Structure 1
Amino acid sequence: MLRTLFSLVISAAVLAGAYVYTFGVPGSVAAYFGPQQAADSSAGAAPSGRGGGGQFGGRGGGRSTTVVLSPIEIQPYQDVLRAIGTATALRSTNVMAEVSGEVTAVNLEANQMVAAGDILIELEARNEALNLEIAEAELAYARETVARYEQLQTNGNSTVTGVALSEARLALSLAEAKAGLARVSLDNRTIRAPIAGRLGLSSMDVGDSLANGSLIVTIDNAEALIVEFELPERAIGILQPQQVVRAMTPTFVGRVFEGRVTSFDSRVDPVTRSVTVRARIENPDGLLWSGMTFSVELSQASAPLAMVASTAITWSQSGASIWIDNDGAALAVPVTILYRQDESVWLEVDLPEGTLVVTEGAQKLRDGAPITSADAPRGRNSAGDAAAPNARRDTAPRAGAPT
């Protein structure tokens, strides 16, 4: 029984010592001691995990809590959207054969630049040339007939009736049409470039037999590229025509190519929940090729907002808040988190730039508790005032001390 009582007394003494070491001597207990003993007891205690003011009453009623303070910065938030897209030439075409025949001449060197109208392939055209000669001869005869009939009528010759002259004029029109068809047939034996650009690979060679509808060669006009990519649904709020985009390609590591949005879809894809966007990138030197893959970035800056470290945010039943330095005392300010990026958050809060915010140690605070910056000189709080009253020494000499 005596041993149990002794154990209880020892345990109570250990708990009391731990409490005094952590929180200091309570004011109600310190009243039984002289001022010097209470001050010595408080001075010998370790720094408290909570501010004395928060634990025992009014502001400045205990030791301050050491915290890390950082100023509020006012900066816009950059909302960056990233996507992968594929580029196509501004103008591109597949040259197809509209007639069949034997190839007699080829001008299809790969990667060669051609102008619109340049000859690419010539086909055997002897029959078409002869048909044109016949049609032109018939056309010449019809013209002479009409001219002769008109002259006879002018001279008053009654042998040429109006009906005969009308038939001659009809024959002339038919001859002109026939000559035109023969000329088109001959022109079709020469295949020309429909647009200016760079030629792709082709397997055509002299002597090959070309079938109607066969692919001859591709032509890409890459003076500008159109990059098509998908952005998430939230991009709708920032998409605008002529908006600047940044494009990077693994072909040229470290280089950034600037482009502008030319168009975007009018609806969100119901499966991917994304919107298709097209951007134009100028390519005057021909450095970029059609079919290249690009990593595209599109950004939009918000209005200037208060920015703090994410560690400054504390949570309670009423929502998010931050602790600020209010003349050396902690003050909780409710906030609304608008954006978060890496270790920073942008807030909706009415505080000026430079306001000191607790970024470390906020979990130990209560409203009105004294705080000291970790960067402040020892023995002074964040406002530069002297240390808290419970660390003040009595200037009166102790009993028995030498005067």
Structure 2
Amino acid sequence: MKKAFVIVILVLLILFGGIFGFKLYGNYMMHQALAHMPVPVVSVSASKVVEREWHPEVTAVGSFAAIQGVEVTPQLGGAITGIYFHSGEYVKAGTPLIQIDNSNQLAQLASDEAQRRLAQINLRRTQTLIATKAASQSQLDSAVASYQSAVAAVKNDHATLAKLAIRAPFSGYLGVRQVDLGQYIIPGTAMVDLQSWDPLFVNFTVPQSDFARIHVGTPVQVEVDSYPGQTFSGKITAMGAAINTATRQIDVQATVPNPKTILRPGMFGNVTVIEKRLEKVLTVPASAITYNTFGDFVYVVEKKTIHGKESQIALQRIVKTGIQRGSEVQILSGLRAGELVVTGGQIKLHEGSPVKIPASGKA
């Protein structure tokens, strides 16, 4: 019984050993065959590292503000008796907007006008009498004072009436009306927003490290999300008098023309301050950069002799990148002008992969 069991075990060992040995032999033969096969050449697109002249830039996030903007409010209280505008319309400076009840002030004006006329008559009479020495100097002085007081009362009435007839303080666009006819309002009640849209201010801050790079008159360009692809140009017109000690930033204000009035106060935009001087930089297409957490790199195409034949291979190169403008990325270190970098097809590459570049430069 034991002998038969041993025989079965030996047979199984020989059987499985043969199968395992055959598998090893097959893998060995396959490895040998692959070892003698040529490494496949990957078709890629490539571009040269280019030296360009760029204007240095300072970037920031800014907010548009009206050069003239105000919430129209009354100085005196009362019931609204007239509304002479429509929400959203353009008005010129001095245009009547709202009338507050002025009936009492008109009555007061009529009374004060009568007092002024009487004071004027008394003054003329006293001047005639004093010429004939029928009146004293003190009587003339009193008549003059009474007349001047009456004139001042009339002027005060006119000033009060002007405050009750609210007009546009400057030309601009009105917002949404916030009061109704017959409503009683008090001083400071918001009635309507008035803004001037052309030009606009752009307010932003820059760190003190960039302070020496900007000055009044420096050009700026602003991009807003509402109008992708459009750039609005202007220039710096004012700078803060001191650095903010809490943030170490300085306030900067630029003026941007808005002739089509498509921008609005309160919008935010990406501001680029463009220096006048030029500096030379190395650039590559953004598609050439492979970004990862371990460091950015590119594949550089170099010539190498393999088996006596000159070939092109792709080698990884760690690079340090700077700013990006459009489709170009600044290279601070890692590349030289004129070197060839892969711009398409990197996903098929590894260190030392043979590559070919079609005549068109595109894979």
Segment of structure 1 superposing worse, 266-275 or 191-200:
266-275
Residue deviations 1:268-306, cap 9 Å, x none?
444444332211101123221111121111233655547
CA contact (8 A) 1:305 1:346 kept: no
2:238 to 230, 254, 263: 263
- After TM superposition, give the deviation of residue 86 of structure 1 in Å: 1.0
- CA distance in structure 2 between the partners assigned to 1:358 and 1:182 by the alignment: 84
Secondary structure of 1:240's partner? coil
CA contact (8 A) 2:50 2:283 kept: yes
- CA distance in structure 1 between the partners assigned to 2:49 and 2:175 by the alignment: 58
Alignment pair present for 1:129 and 2:106: yes
The TM-score, its normalising length taken from structure 2, stands at 0.63
Which residue in the other structure is 2:125 paired with?
148
Amino acid at match of 1:194: P
- CA distance in structure 1 between the partners assigned to 2:74 and 2:135 by the alignment: 49
Which residue in the other structure is 2:291 paired with?
none
CA shift in 2, pair 1:75/1:203, >3 Å: closer
Percent identity (aligned): 21
Secondary structure of 2:202's partner? strand
- After TM superposition, give the deviation of residue 147 of structure 1 in Å: 1.0
Secondary structure of 1:222's partner? coil
CA contact (8 A) 2:49 2:283 kept: yes
1:344 to 308, 327, 331: 331
CA contact (8 A) 1:96 1:216 kept: yes
CA shift in 2, pair 1:78/1:146, >3 Å: closer
CA shift in 2, pair 1:112/1:178, >3 Å: same
Tell me the C-alpha RMSD between the 2 structures: 3.3
Secondary structure of 2:179's partner? coil
Structure 1 segments (4+ residues) deviating >6 Å:
70-73, 355-360
CA contact (8 A) 2:172 2:195 kept: yes
- CA distance in structure 2 between the partners assigned to 1:165 and 1:278 by the alignment: 60
CA contact (8 A) 1:105 1:122 kept: yes
- CA distance in structure 1 between the partners assigned to 2:266 and 2:154 by the alignment: 44
- CA distance in structure 2 between the partners assigned to 1:252 and 1:274 by the alignment: 28
Amino acid at match of 1:201: V
The TM-score, its normalising length taken from structure 1, stands at 0.57
Segment of structure 1 superposing worse, 133-142 or 269-278:
269-278
1:120 to 97, 102, 105: 97
Amino acid at match of 1:230: T
- CA distance in structure 1 between the partners assigned to 2:261 and 2:281 by the alignment: 45
Which residue in the other structure is 2:313 paired with?
none
Amino acid at match of 2:175: G
Equivalent residue runs for 1:226-265 within 5 Å: 226-265=201-240
Which residue in the other structure is 2:178 paired with?
203
- After TM superposition, give the deviation of residue 141 of structure 1 in Å: 0.7
Which residue in the other structure is 1:298 paired with?
273
- Structure 2 residues not aligned, in runs of 5+: 1-46, 289-319, 324-328, 342-354, 357-363
- After TM superposition, give the deviation of residue 266 of structure 1 in Å: 4.0
Which residue in the other structure is 2:249 paired with?
274
CA shift in 2, pair 1:214/1:304, >3 Å: closer
- Structure 1 residues not aligned, in runs of 5+: 1-69, 312-337, 348-354, 361-373, 376-403
Which residue in the other structure is 2:75 paired with?
98
Amino acid at match of 2:156: L
CA contact (8 A) 1:77 1:346 kept: no
Alignment pair present for 1:111 and 2:88: yes
Secondary structure of 1:223's partner? coil
In our comparison, the structure showing a higher alpha carbon Rg is: 1
- CA distance in structure 2 between the partners assigned to 1:218 and 1:71 by the alignment: 56
Which residue in the other structure is 2:55 paired with?
78
CA contact (8 A) 1:132 1:186 kept: no
Secondary structure of 2:173's partner? strand
Residue deviations 1:324-368, cap 9 Å, x none?
xxxxxxxxxxxxxx9955363489xxxxxxx987779xxxxxxxx
